[in-house]
Structure 1
Amino acid sequence: MKNLKFTQIITFGFILLVVFISSISVSANSDDWIRTSSAEGVSLEIKFANFGEMNSEELLFEVYLSTHSGNLLDNNFEELITVRNGQDYLNNENINWEWERESSHHPIGLIKIKNTTIDGQKFYSDKTEYLELEISGIREASHRFRWNINQNKKLLGYIPNAASGTVSVIDIGAEKVINTIKVGEEASHGIEITPDGRFLYTGDFQNGLIKIFDLSSNKLVKTLEVKSTAHGIDMSPDGKYILVASGSESEVAVIDTAKQEIIKVIEEGIGDSPSHIDFDPAGKYAILTNLESDDVSVISIPNFEVTVKIPVGDGPNEGRVAPDGRYAYTANWESNSVSVIDLNKFVVVDEIEVGEGTHGVIVSPDSKKIWTANRKTNNVAIIDAETRQIERYIAAGQYANHLEFTPDGKKVVVTNARDNEAILIDTETYEVISRIQLGEEPHEISFLIK
């Protein structure tokens, strides 16, 4: 009897120890669920308050706002918020905002998001890859916050190899190619994956074909024919549309991803040799770089009409909109520069001399750094977005071509077109940590968490 009681005490004590350790672990990791952002004189700190409650009816986010001018209470936050999970998104119909402290300069809010069931699965569940919450429209700026949920999944990179007519699939963690998909004679330079991870959009460049692959089987399920060549392939933030820049003719084809059909071809207002496309965070318009007419076409969504053309540097190959939505940046291949576009006025406000053959450009998730790939100097430049001064150069490889941040922002993948490789750069140390051999002439990068 005494032995039994002793055993029970030991067991009970062990259980208490496990609970105690678990509580320490949750408390220690709670800061991992806090995200911050600043733009246009407004700072936000958001905490995912009930991240451990996947079966709850509501997702709770505590929001701490701060400014030194204006009245933040004037914003209708329910109308400004969108949340995504990698497969779908929720807007104001499922979102409620409550004020915890009503102060014009330092208010505190609580976001309540209905954890609705979509296609038989909770919006936030143990299968969720990530949550991304965006508040767009505070003084015309956008704030984006991301929480990676399932860290045990693989991050895959899909890279088209133009000269090989293939797509290389890279396991970023393992730093190796795990698959190669044959596309056609010459692969398009752009590539996209739908937000639900189901379909890959790639292309046969010179033959003007867009090819849609089912990623569960890597099998071709549909081919679409555009009127000319198919160079740039870029997707709207909500995943509803794919825009295809011709690269030769002054045309952009618009694909409805739900129908998997071309619904419009834009010709009026498109410049010479349209190259690549990016979108504002809210998905209300796209910017198209026109390589040979040295300008950018701004395309409205969902009307798909050119509303303004902006002269930029010589040979703009690629443009990127900063995540906060304030500026766009074009990589100017012939003038070796980056043009800075004020997206409130749609005018160029600065020109940054970078490196010879500036070909690719990206902006860091916090909008504070601009990275460029410079083909002729075979390096990557990192620019401070506020001072617009170059902070450093990183030796890349022969013909540094395109580059992209991994979803967590911890690495940058750069393709070197003549070395036929991708390199991985650590964004904290700025060191090249890996080199991965690909097919011939690799270009853009798209990611899938699987």
Structure 2
Amino acid sequence: MKVYVSNYLSKSISIIDYETLTLEKEIKLDDNIYPHHFCIDKEKSKMYLPSSSNGILYVLDMKEEKIIDSSSIGGSLTQIAMFEEEVFIANEDSNSIYFMNKNTLDPIGIICVDDMPHGFCFDLPRKKLYVPCMDSITCIDIINKVIESKIDINFKAWHVQLDKYKSEIYVSTLDGKVVIIDEDTLVTKRVFDEFLLPVQISFNYKDKKVYVADLGYKNIKILDYSLGKYVGNIDIDGIPQGLEISPDEEKLFISDTQKNSVKVYDTSTNKLIKEIKVEKEPTTIICM
């Protein structure tokens, strides 16, 4: 198993060995590629990198460590995810979600949403995609490529994460909140106000915790999953952005954009296990 990290300012990808927690290699990208987010087709050893600087989607051959394909989409590309033979990409400038054939990069379609769709999350069993915008949450049918439902909201939604057991959607907002929304009705169930600038959200079902990276307070907030309340935080002595929990839910990986490192914490104790230096401004982390 490997841990992959995108380094925005150094235009590189770090690869960390999961067992030893040591930096294995750095893959340098082209000068015009600023990787904020990415997704991986592990079977084909390909990484898909939307570059926010020039609106181009790049395909990295992870074995050869070189770009083998690209497609100009335009605008400010943010999050990307893969479903079967397609990739879905959020474009903040055109307020839309693009979907493309992952093998050929041929365009399949585009769905217009509301202002600034930055992140999104899949519910793969239901074949749905949830897209947060500045004043709404949109649910897209990913098979038929249509908007299934939408609600207007009074908070500035930014990132989302699906609770796979309770059919709830956790939304981090630019106005300092984490909001829980019922997936079936899209009705707001709970609002947490203990944040300043929450970003990524990650679930630890084993220990009944929900982790939220707070850029503003420079820590990781912890919510009690069972009780539904704020219970504490992890001070990381830096600026957290990306979060990834290991498949066994025993380790929490945090990208620190101030210290240019990935910090690994024991989820049972919240204690730091190791700090791994990477390149400049690490953002997204994927463990697989």
Same fold (TM over 0.5): yes
Residue in 2 that maps onto 1:316: 157
Deviations 1:172-207 (A, max 9, x none): 322232222233435232111125252111132211
Residue in 2 that maps onto 1:179: 25
Distance 1:361 1:389, change over 3 A: same
CA contact (8 A) 2:77 2:92 kept: yes
- Please say if 1:243 is aligned against 2:88: yes
Residue in 1 that maps onto 2:132: 289
Amino acid at match of 2:210: I
State which of 213, 222, 225 in structure 2 corresponds to 1:373: 213
State which of 206, 210, 214 in structure 1 corresponds to 2:61: 214
Deviations 1:78-104 (A, max 9, x none): xxxxxxxxxxxxxxxxxxxxxxxxxxx
State which of 115, 123, 131 in structure 2 corresponds to 1:272: 115
TM-score by length of 2: 0.91
Q: Over aligned residues, Cα RMSD in angstroms?
A: 2.1
- Structure 2 matches for 1:290-369, cutoff 5 A? 290=133, 293-312=134-153, 314-324=155-165, 326-334=167-175, 336-365=176-205, 368-369=208-209
Residue in 2 that maps onto 1:437: 277
Residue in 1 that maps onto 2:246: 406
Residue in 1 that maps onto 2:39: 192
Distance 1:175 1:162, change over 3 A: same
Aligned equivalents of 2:211 and 2:44: distance in 1? 27
State which of 382, 386, 390 in structure 1 corresponds to 2:222: 382
Amino acid at match of 1:346: L
Q: Which moved more, 1:312-321 or 1:243-252?
A: 312-321
Unmatched segments (≥5 aa) in structure 1: 1-154
Residue in 1 that maps onto 2:4: 158
Aligned equivalents of 2:249 and 2:153: distance in 1? 28
Residue in 1 that maps onto 2:50: 203
Amino acid at match of 2:99: V
Amino acid at match of 2:40: I
The answer to which structure, 1 or 2, has the higher relative contact order (CA under 8 A, 6+ apart) is: 2
Larger Rg belongs to: 1
Aligned equivalents of 1:325 and 1:209: distance in 2? 36
SS at match of 2:274: strand
> More helix per residue: 1 or 2?
1
- Structure 2 matches for 1:117-128, cutoff 5 A? none
SS at match of 1:444: strand
CA contact (8 A) 2:203 2:209 kept: yes
CA contact (8 A) 1:283 1:301 kept: no
Distance 1:447 1:274, change over 3 A: same
Residue in 2 that maps onto 1:417: 257
- Structure 2 matches for 1:5-154, cutoff 5 A? none
Aligned equivalents of 2:266 and 2:115: distance in 1? 37
Aligned equivalents of 2:140 and 2:29: distance in 1? 29
Residue in 2 that maps onto 1:394: 234
- Structure 2 matches for 1:219-234, cutoff 5 A? 219-234=66-81
Deviations 1:196-238 (A, max 9, x none): 25211113221111111222322322112213222111223xx
TM-score by length of 1: 0.60
How many residue pairs get matched? 287
CA contact (8 A) 1:405 1:412 kept: yes
SS at match of 1:276: coil
Aligned equivalents of 1:248 and 1:164: distance in 2? 24
1:366: Cα distance to partner?
5.4
Q: Which moved more, 1:315-324 or 1:251-260?
A: 251-260
The percentage of counterpart residues that share the same residue type is: 20
Deviations 1:272-301 (A, max 9, x none): 1111111114151011122xx232221111
SS at match of 1:445: strand
Aligned equivalents of 2:163 and 2:145: distance in 1? 21
Amino acid at match of 1:172: Y
Distance 1:313 1:397, change over 3 A: farther
